Structure 1
Amino acid sequence: MVTGDPGATKPTSSAGSDDDDYTSSMSHLTIGQQIQELSKRLQNTTEELHQQVRDKHGALLQQATHAGRFDAALNTLADEVQRVRETGHRLKGQVDTQYQLVENQTQVLGRLHDVSHLLRSAGTLLALTAKLKSTKDVLRQAELHFELAQLIDDKDLKDIEFVQKERAFVISSGQKIRNLTQMQLVTGLQERNQNQVVNALKIFMNFNTLEKSLENLLATFIADMEQSLKECFAGNDISVLNKSPTQGTGSSTVKPAASRGPGKTPQLTTTQNFRAKFWKSLHWLLYDELYESCTQIKLLKAALEQINQFGYTSESSDQYIPRRFWQKVQQLLRKSFDECSQHVTQTLQEGLSKLLTSARGLEQRLNGEFKFENELFAPLEVGYVSKCAANMKACLAGVDLPGNETVDNFIRVASTELSAALIDGRLTNSIANVFIACGKELCTKLEAQIKLGADSKQVVDLPNLQQQQNTTLANVLYYYKDSVRRMLSDLQVQFEKTPGTARDNIFRSLEQADLLIGTILQQIMESIITTISIIILSMHREPGLNSERLSTTGPSMYMKELQEFVSRSWSNHIALFDDKPMTTKCGHELAKRCIELFLHNVCILRPLSRAGRQRLKQDCQHMDQGLRPLCANLAELGKPSRLLRAMSLLIVQSPQELVKQTIGEDSLVPSYIVLLLLFGHAGADLQSPHTTANWSNERLIEWLDGHTAEREKLELISGALQRYRDNARRKNIQQYDEVYPMMVDYFEQALKAIP
């Protein structure tokens, strides 16, 4: 290798700059001058190369020597490679010969093996076919077919002529057995022969057609039901539906009616006849035919469990036979309901309760193992509810002032509709909502006729025309309310069997009637209470209560007037209402109010003589008798009744005995009553609380009615006691009223007892 002088090589940058200078200098020369310059430079280059060869002559010779040796080594290596290649060819020839020999022998053995396998398979086929021909047991034949299945499907055996006859026999026999088994399966299900069904299923298992056979069986059930639905929707007689399939053979067989699609209009004389046949047929279809199919499915499930096919009998499996069957049934019904003709749809909607009765009857007959989805009948509910609403509203149409006859018609229709709908909870709730809406409309019409105002409140005279009309309206409302309750009582057993809140919702809807009756009664009760309050207040003007010459026998004048007014107003105005529970409640409230007014007026009455107190004691007893028209047994009033009897004793007791009354929550008589009674035993200087505040008796009674807290009443009494003490100090009175210390002590105890 020639190596140049390092000093002879110029830097790249210098060479680049020289080239640039040379190019720039050449650009100024002519072509001839440029050729001469190039020739000169070429001559210089040649001379320089010769000089370098002369300088490196030894190195070049040494490198040439090495190249010769390398060529000799390469030639030697090539000879060795050639010898190895020749040896490899000889070995390959020897191996190929042996391999070809082995391959030929292997092919011969493989063909011998195939022939042997075919002969064995053919022999097995012939042997099993012979057994098949000699076996009469169908189940055993199915087992033999299971063993023959792979042989029959073998492609190689199909080309062997001497087994073709046996193959054809096996195939034909298998088809006959499957057809016969399918018939036996259907017959076994119809005859409830579980052993026959089990054997048929085992045969299908041996043929590996169990799933296909079950699917065909389900398809048969659905096809039969679909045909029955078409006949039913076509309005055919029930005898066509109830005809046995085995009646289709023989010369005497009646030809079935031509199959009609759901959309064809039945040729019937009247709509009524069509509907009668339609519902009779549909009930038979659901209650009898579908029940028969479900029973067979249950038997099929038991048979599958017996042969350990739990994939078809486990509810968690997608192949669960009862679920698959029931889903197909509901799909068929849903499709039939959606695609049927308009007049059939109308019939289904208007008779939905009949359809649900048949459906729920089927569910109950099957012990709840098969249940229809609620959404299946939902599309029919709208029409049925509309029909029921129209029937109920027709009873109220054109009636501005409903009476008992209107109520009777409405309740009769509503009872019929509810009774029919009670077969299904969802439908019952819908019909109940319609009934509630119609009931609200009835109450609204009655409410519009109620008279309010001064004329409808008077209780002094006999009832006027407005009050008579209000009483009539209240009695109609009560008659409606009572009729609804009797209707619900009659349907109680059916309501208990049907889940839902329909009954409670109807009961709650009666609150509107109670409210209207209460409105009519309330205005009369307010007038009665106002009049009673005026009569009782007149006791403060009763003559002789401060005189010892007063007779203590018989009632006071105000008490006589009160007894007469209570008896007259109750008999003339309240007793005319038929709603006795509400009038009884009003009577109790009125009696409590009378007792409260009487007690408040008695405890502030002063001055009183001993004879006057005895007269008031008698008045307490006469009050008990005077309230009998309002409440036959005053003991039912509870605490007010006991308080009235206690007042008859307290009014005649001395201050020393009064302050011994129990204080606190267990006390029957409130503390403020005792304190007000003590004011009646005091002198004129110890004024009553209302006198101290410059109130009239009427204002004090109103104040006591409006302030029910015990503390507020004690604070009012405290003001009177404080003023008396201040006046006594200002007047420099040496001794307080003898009742005052007892009142102060009792007051402090009462104040401490308040929680």
Structure 2
Amino acid sequence: MDEIVDLHSIENDDYFKQFFDPEAKQNDIHKLLTVAQQLKKLGKALEVLDAELHKQVYTNHNDLLSQVTWVEKIEGILSTMQTHVQSLLSAVERLRGKIVEPFNRIEAHTKILTRLHEASDLLRRVGRVQHLLHSQKLHSQISNSAQSSEIIKAAKSIHELEQLMSDTDLSGLDIVADDQQAVKTHKIAIQRIATHALNQGLQTSDSDQVSTAIQVFDNLDVLSKAIETVEKSALSEIDKIGREALDVSLPMNQDISKRSGPGRAAIPAPGSSGNVRLRLWESLDRLFQDIVYNQCVQIELLERILLEHHTKEFDGFSQLFWNKVTELLAKILIERSQASSFVKQALEGEYPKFLRVFLDLRKRLKERTQSIGTYTIGRDILQPFENAYLSRSISRLLDPVHTMFSSDSTPSHDEIDSLIRTITSELSVSLIDESLSTIVARNVGKAIRLFCLKCEQGLITTGEASQVIDSSTPGQLINVTLANLLYYLASQMTRVVANLAGSLPTEGATVIATALDDTNTLTKNILTPLMLSITDAIESIILTMHDDPEFRESSSPLGREIACSLYMRELQGFILRSVTTFLAPYKNQTVVGECCNIVASRCIELFVRHACLIRPLTEYGRAKLIIDFGQMEVAVAPLCRGGHLGSLEQQQYRTLRALKSLLALSAESMVEKVVEMKGEGGVPASLILLHLFSAAPPELQSPHQSAGWSINRLSQWLDNHPSEKDRLALSSGTLQRYESTIRQRNIPSFHPLFPLMMKLASLADDYN
């Protein structure tokens, strides 16, 4: 067992730890010690603690004495403070007695004063009520209510009475009970008079009456309610008349109805449908032109008077009323059309007439000098009927096209005329509204495009459609017929649009014009294979000039006069035959002329190109070629409108005329002229350069000879390379090879044409 000698040993002893921390886990050390040992251990610990206390007292006795002294002083101070607190409490009690009693008296007097004030105010209000209600002035105002000023004053007095009675609770006062009932009675009487004046003023457009009634309602503080009542009354009137106007039924055949039985249907009486339809439109016209118009005019008058009285809350009142009217009419129209197939058929089948009723109403409302509403027609009202009408309209436009192409034969002019009459009728009926006209014009465009599609499906596209050797084949005649039908339709439609000019909207006219352009496009597509065949044949004929030996002869055979070449005669005959046989039957000569101008320009281009490629070319051959240049204008004249070449592409025609004049010059003059005219619409330098090869020596080969090409392949290359720089570069390569050959052979000089040709070739650097 450990010895207990100081506080530290007590703290570390396992036996005493159970006394320091009661919550700690109990150890079993006390079970190992006997009671005597435990008592001894405790006694030893007490001795150590007693010794430690003596030690601490001895060591800190000065501090302990000091603390005891301060405790005595604090007790003295607390005793003094208690005396002061008792004195303070006594003073507070005395002060409370002096404050509470006056406060209670003041509070009591205040309540008395408040009650006196309320009683005084109540007596004052009762007195004012008695004065206003029982004075001769109010009775005089009510009795003279026919005068606007008096009824306004009476309304103001009644409103003042209501304010006096509503601001204070007067319930339970017998003295004013009868007065309150009298005020209500007078108010009802004045409201009735004002309502009558307002209705009469609106019906007769009397601004003074309406203004008086508004002031009365305003003074009574029931203006909003009165205006709402007027609006509801107007809408109710429109609703009633609208439903009556569309509540139609066909009278049945009485004889059949008597014999009706199973399987028998009631049949309308003969002629009744037309009469009922007439009554329907008369009722609709009355509804819109009388009822709706008058109600809108009255609401406009009401809004204008309200704004004059600075009642800004009603700004736009007429527009809001118009919106409610249109919503109401839309509801009635939909309900009645769903309930009656006759009404539905009438409104859908004669939609333009129905639309005109709306438009006439809007026009009348807008044309008024004092009109302040916008009166736009919501498309949601008309949309169901418009859609049904347009569906029938496009069917009426497309069905004739399907019908005329249903058989194997091509359509006749009578069938197209019938289609034109239908189109004219649809467009004319739709002119009442720009939006409707535009939509119908789009449908007309669809009919025209369908006609074009049907024609395109009937075209002959096999080889017989593009042959130009024999006379016209049956396939070509079919294509001509279809093209002429397209032209007939386009010309008739153009006349229709011209007759409707000023009435048909610009957008609608543009839509139809765009659709008519498809007829010209299809005609061009019909002519394109034929024109390509004519162009190919022309090129084949022009290529034969290279086989003509007369271009290489030194003089005229047997002294004959120089005449045009055989190929030129053949070309002239072929073009004339092609125009008269294959192109003349087409009636759309505008499109034919455009296509012919392209062919004529191509013919001149090929002739000029191959004329410059003839090699060798003698002086006689040059003279003969000049004659051919003059005859070329004769050859292409049938392709030009009126035989005038001025309609041709200007560049090709200028090149033909300019090259003809250059052929008569020497090589030096020719080159000088070309260099001088470069970039000013003269003859291209590449053509003159190709022409100079015609008089060059054999070692100076032409570009196609140097490349191992045929003349036809060279022509194709020139078509694919329109750039003047590329064409000059092609000839430059040949000239450079010639220069290398001469230098390799040590020949002292070049051919006289070589410097001239190099001068032209050097112009390639001037082109981008």
Normalising by structure 1, report the TM-score.
Answer: 0.79
- SS of 1:408's partner is helix
How far did 1:537 drift?
Answer: 1.8
C-alpha change, 1:454 and 1:274, in structure 2 (3 Å) is same
Q: Which amino acid aligns with 1:335?
A: K
Residues 113-143 of structure 1, C-alpha deviation per residue, up to 9 Å, x if partnerless? 5334422431233225344356452333222
- SS of 1:736's partner is coil
Rounded Cα–Cα distance in structure 1 between residues aligned with 2:488 and 2:393: 22
- SS of 1:687's partner is coil
In structure 1, the partner of 2:319 is 323
How far did 1:273 drift?
Answer: 3.5
In structure 1, the partner of 2:686 is 672
Residues 555-612 of structure 1, C-alpha deviation per residue, up to 9 Å, x if partnerless? 3222222111111110111011111110010111111011111101111123333333
Q: Which amino acid aligns with 2:325?
A: V
The answer as to whether partners of 1:129 and 1:166 remain within 8 angstroms in 2 is: no
Residues 268-290 of structure 1, C-alpha deviation per residue, up to 9 Å, x if partnerless? 96444333332343244334443
The question of 1:185 aligning with 2:198 is answered: yes
In structure 2, the partner of 1:431 is 440
- Percent identity reads 27
Of 386, 393, 410, the match for 2:391: 386
Q: Which amino acid aligns with 2:758?
A: V
How far did 1:216 drift?
Answer: 1.4
How far did 1:549 drift?
Answer: 1.9
Let me know the Cα RMSD of the aligned residues. 4.2
Rounded Cα–Cα distance in structure 2 between residues aligned with 1:612 and 1:89: 152
Residues 631-656 of structure 1, C-alpha deviation per residue, up to 9 Å, x if partnerless? 12212222222211112212221101
How far did 1:95 drift?
Answer: 8.2
The answer as to whether partners of 2:141 and 2:153 remain within 8 angstroms in 1 is: no
The question of 1:227 aligning with 2:240 is answered: yes
Of 546, 561, 564, the match for 2:570: 561
In structure 2, the partner of 1:57 is none
In structure 1, the partner of 2:533 is 527
C-alpha change, 1:602 and 1:129, in structure 2 (3 Å) is same
In structure 2, the partner of 1:608 is 617
Of 502, 511, 525, the match for 1:505: 511
Rounded Cα–Cα distance in structure 2 between residues aligned with 1:87 and 1:532: 137
The answer as to whether partners of 2:126 and 2:176 remain within 8 angstroms in 1 is: no
In structure 2, the partner of 1:362 is 361
How far did 1:480 drift?
Answer: 2.3
In structure 1, the partner of 2:738 is 724
Rounded Cα–Cα distance in structure 1 between residues aligned with 2:542 and 2:727: 21
In structure 2, the partner of 1:470 is 479
The answer as to whether partners of 1:297 and 1:322 remain within 8 angstroms in 2 is: yes
The question of 1:397 aligning with 2:402 is answered: yes
Matches within 5 A, 1:94-105: none
In structure 1, the partner of 2:645 is 634
The question of 1:549 aligning with 2:551 is answered: no
How far did 1:704 drift?
Answer: 2.1
Rounded Cα–Cα distance in structure 2 between residues aligned with 1:553 and 1:119: 138
How far did 1:85 drift?
Answer: 8.3
Rounded Cα–Cα distance in structure 1 between residues aligned with 2:481 and 2:362: 49
How far did 1:409 drift?
Answer: 2.4
> Aligned pairs, how many?
680
Which deviates the most, 166-175 or 737-746?
166-175
Rounded Cα–Cα distance in structure 1 between residues aligned with 2:432 and 2:357: 9
The question of 1:446 aligning with 2:481 is answered: no
- SS of 2:638's partner is coil
How far did 1:730 drift?
Answer: 3.9
Of 643, 654, 658, the match for 1:646: 658
Q: Which amino acid aligns with 1:294?
A: C
C-alpha change, 1:299 and 1:15, in structure 2 (3 Å) is same
Q: Which amino acid aligns with 1:181?
A: A
The answer as to whether partners of 2:438 and 2:508 remain within 8 angstroms in 1 is: yes
Rounded Cα–Cα distance in structure 2 between residues aligned with 1:537 and 1:717: 21
C-alpha change, 1:232 and 1:114, in structure 2 (3 Å) is closer
In structure 2, the partner of 1:377 is 382
In structure 2, the partner of 1:309 is 311
Q: Which amino acid aligns with 2:307?
A: E
C-alpha change, 1:323 and 1:438, in structure 2 (3 Å) is same
Matches within 5 A, 1:678-693: 678-693=692-707
How far did 1:671 drift?
Answer: 0.6
Matches within 5 A, 1:88-127: 107=115, 110-111=118-119, 114-127=122-135
Of 311, 322, 335, the match for 1:339: 335
C-alpha change, 1:125 and 1:187, in structure 2 (3 Å) is closer
Rounded Cα–Cα distance in structure 1 between residues aligned with 2:462 and 2:740: 50
How far did 1:736 drift?
Answer: 2.0
How far did 1:235 drift?
Answer: 3.3
Of 148, 153, 156, the match for 1:138: 148
Q: Which amino acid aligns with 1:410?
A: L
Rounded Cα–Cα distance in structure 2 between residues aligned with 1:640 and 1:578: 27
The answer as to whether partners of 1:139 and 1:202 remain within 8 angstroms in 2 is: no
The answer as to whether partners of 1:235 and 1:274 remain within 8 angstroms in 2 is: yes
In structure 2, the partner of 1:300 is 302
How far did 1:161 drift?
Answer: 6.0
The question of 1:578 aligning with 2:595 is answered: no
The question of 1:656 aligning with 2:668 is answered: yes
Q: Which amino acid aligns with 1:337?
A: L
Rounded Cα–Cα distance in structure 1 between residues aligned with 2:489 and 2:624: 49
C-alpha change, 1:297 and 1:730, in structure 2 (3 Å) is same
The answer as to whether partners of 1:283 and 1:355 remain within 8 angstroms in 2 is: no
The answer as to whether partners of 2:692 and 2:757 remain within 8 angstroms in 1 is: yes
- SS of 2:459's partner is coil
Residues 429-453 of structure 1, C-alpha deviation per residue, up to 9 Å, x if partnerless? 4434433333333222221211122
Rounded Cα–Cα distance in structure 2 between residues aligned with 1:220 and 1:123: 38
How far did 1:327 drift?
Answer: 1.8
How far did 1:678 drift?
Answer: 1.6
In structure 2, the partner of 1:514 is 520
Rounded Cα–Cα distance in structure 2 between residues aligned with 1:221 and 1:267: 37
The question of 1:492 aligning with 2:501 is answered: yes
C-alpha change, 1:633 and 1:13, in structure 2 (3 Å) is farther
How far did 1:529 drift?
Answer: 1.0
Rounded Cα–Cα distance in structure 2 between residues aligned with 1:104 and 1:439: 99
- SS of 2:502's partner is helix
Q: Which amino acid aligns with 2:621?
A: G
Rounded Cα–Cα distance in structure 2 between residues aligned with 1:396 and 1:548: 67
The answer as to whether partners of 2:700 and 2:738 remain within 8 angstroms in 1 is: yes
In structure 2, the partner of 1:290 is 292
Q: Which amino acid aligns with 1:617?
A: I
How far did 1:553 drift?
Answer: 4.8
C-alpha change, 1:718 and 1:111, in structure 2 (3 Å) is closer
Which deviates the most, 652-661 or 81-90?
81-90
The question of 1:147 aligning with 2:157 is answered: yes
The answer as to whether partners of 1:418 and 1:431 remain within 8 angstroms in 2 is: yes
How far did 1:467 drift?
Answer: 0.8
Of 415, 419, 425, the match for 1:416: 425
Rounded Cα–Cα distance in structure 2 between residues aligned with 1:83 and 1:667: 129
C-alpha change, 1:75 and 1:296, in structure 2 (3 Å) is closer
In structure 2, the partner of 1:216 is 229
Q: Which amino acid aligns with 2:376?
A: K
Of 448, 457, 460, the match for 2:469: 460
Q: Which amino acid aligns with 1:738?
A: P
